[in-house]
Structure 1
Amino acid sequence: MPRGAWRGSSEHAAPLGHGWSGVVRYEGGTYQVMVALDCINQENKTLVAYGDLLGTSNGTTLTGLGRVTTETAEKAAEKHGCQVKAGKQLTGLSTARLGTPDTAKPLPQAQGSRAALRGTDAVQNGTPAVMEYPADPDAPQTNCYLVTKAKKPGHGLYAYYGAAAKDFLTSEGDRLKEGYGPTHSGRDYAWATATCPRSAQQAVFVLYHLYDRDTDTYPVPNYSASFARSALRAFADHEAEQRGCSDVRMMTR
């Protein structure tokens, strides 16, 4: 599966927490833990580790995957002379942390970076609710979903920082620059970049018009380019402010 690209009604990512710069992800039957540790003593160097788990999972196995991945990252950093800020030992990771569309809340109740979406035309564009995740300034990826009345994610908004941004551009960058989004979404997306501290890699912000693989339809039938740009701009500006980033630029296709 492409590293960094997580879209659709069954694709979710949440901060790893516990002081770690990482995320736990789920996509179509696969759980993944990503850890991205900056080398304090080596400018613009980051060590990235992944752990994958196929099939069903529970809190015990997911916590085990997280521990193995974080411990592997620490050992690799030591081996390569990379001094890192490690988090605490992981405990209590739960699949519930990744949420489901029926946990979405009305848009006026959105918090954190998603609060910026309250001032957009999301309701008029068929997504009156939002599915959001715990805020974590250490997480290399942030995402949320604008959800329809039928409890289907209609638009996905994603922010990638540092190694996660580099990873995302490796898998999707050429398609974005050529004017094409991922499979099933064609040209239905908007994207932006920003300059962030502590990394030579620009942050990347993307809004995708989501496709529901279960029903073979788009939960939001009609894509509005103007809404996509305004919603992404609000999301990116607020994210950038929280992270100390600057120079948010909407990209042309």
Structure 2
Amino acid sequence: MCTNLFYAGFDGTTGEQITRVFKNKEHAGVEFTVGPIPIDDRVGKEIVTQITTTMKSNKTFYIDSNGRDFLQRIRDYREDWDLEVNQPIDRNYYPVNLGIYLKDETSELLLLVDRSVRGSGIVDGQLELMLHRILLYDDGKGVVEALNETVCVGNDCRGLIVQGKYYLRIDPIGEGAKWRRSYGQEIYSPLLLAFIEQDEKTGTNFQVSTFSGMDSSYSLPDNVALLTLQELEDGKILLRWLIFLLLLYIIIT
């Protein structure tokens, strides 16, 4: 049940954000709709959302690596070489597949996303996500075309509309890991529903085979998730368990 709704628009473009604060939940959910981005002025645009706090993050923020471990990022810095900062925004943007967070001595601010976006911490105490963009000129980096995707119905072509969600939460320092791992797993690997059509003419009923290698009342620990259950050759079964910081492979014969 949602207890509060907050609406916000984007300057100079078509779109809105709806923030929902849920009863009995310690995080807020934000649903955004952006587009089509107006380009009548022939200027490309990047649409971002910014969450600003008073936290002293000291140029440091953390972004997931392919939805698993979180890596430290330091603004205007690279560990392996001396970074020449001639593009201060572009050089500090990274892919965000699951989440991004920052922290100081007392608190942590975490954002989880439901789709891949770009993100950064351009300003201390602030997290930024790029939700949509249109570029009218090729950037010279290999694509050989401008990033200006459209949807056409007949001769009527319009820019794309992007919809998505992200979730945010503030925790005391050191207490955010459990939520970003558990809830992040639900977002990153949701259950998929599959359906099959029953043959009404023959009245065939499909029998679902069942098997349990453990007691039916047993539940996996909160920090463990089943990634793969796959039948291999010669009657072997591949099991992959995710222990959030580790990946465990087991082959059962």
User: Shorter-normalised TM-score: what interval?
Assistant: under 0.3
TM-score (ref. length: structure 2): 0.24
Greater helix content: 1
TM-score (ref. length: structure 1): 0.24
